[in-house]
Amino acid sequence: MGYNVSDANSYLVITGGGIPDIKIVKKAWVWPWQKHSRISISPFDFEITLQAMTIEKLQFSLPAVFTIGPADDVESLCRYAKILTGKTANSAKQPTATGRNHVQDIVKGIIEGETRVIVSSMTMEEIFKEREVFKTAVIKNVQKELDQFGLK
């Protein structure tokens, strides 16, 4: 039991007695029948070199850097905390990978998949002439997928 306070770039995730799912707070009393952990909301960078193929069947290397972090609202933080800590509806039945590396693997898969989908529908000329359109399409598609994990 004790009063816990999180750092400026983190939140407390509390589970246990009196809490139906999880509770995300900056400071709280944690009772002996409850567990708590801290999650960082610091963004992390992804540097990937994607092997992609255009609609013309031309293969090329596409270097990219993305900065991803959890959204700073309670609903998004709950989704992020569940992925980071492994607490899901099925977690009692089967082991779940946890931690920041797991989140990074998910994000990398999303970025690679969505980028390949967009690249495969464009010509090489379109990719280079319309860079802003390409960039906007990638960000929009990636963000749509990241929303389900509480990331932005």
Q: How distant, in Å, are the alpha carbons of 13, 42, 81 from that of 67?
A: 23, 10, 18
117-138 pLDDT, tens digit each: 999 999 989 888 998 998 999 9
Query: Which tokens belong to 88?
Result: 């899901």
28-77 pLDDT, tens digit each: 999 999 999 898 889 988 888 988 888 998 888 988 888 999 998 889 99
Residue 140 has pLDDT above 90, yes or no: yes
Return the pLDDT at 47: 86
Confidence category of residue 98, pLDDT binned at 50, 70, 90 = low
CA distance 132 to 144: 18
Report the predicted TM-score, pTM, of the whole model to 2 decimal places.
0.77
Q: How distant, in Å, are the alpha carbons of 8, 122, 130, 139 from that of 55?
A: 46, 6, 15, 20
CA distance 1 to 20: 19
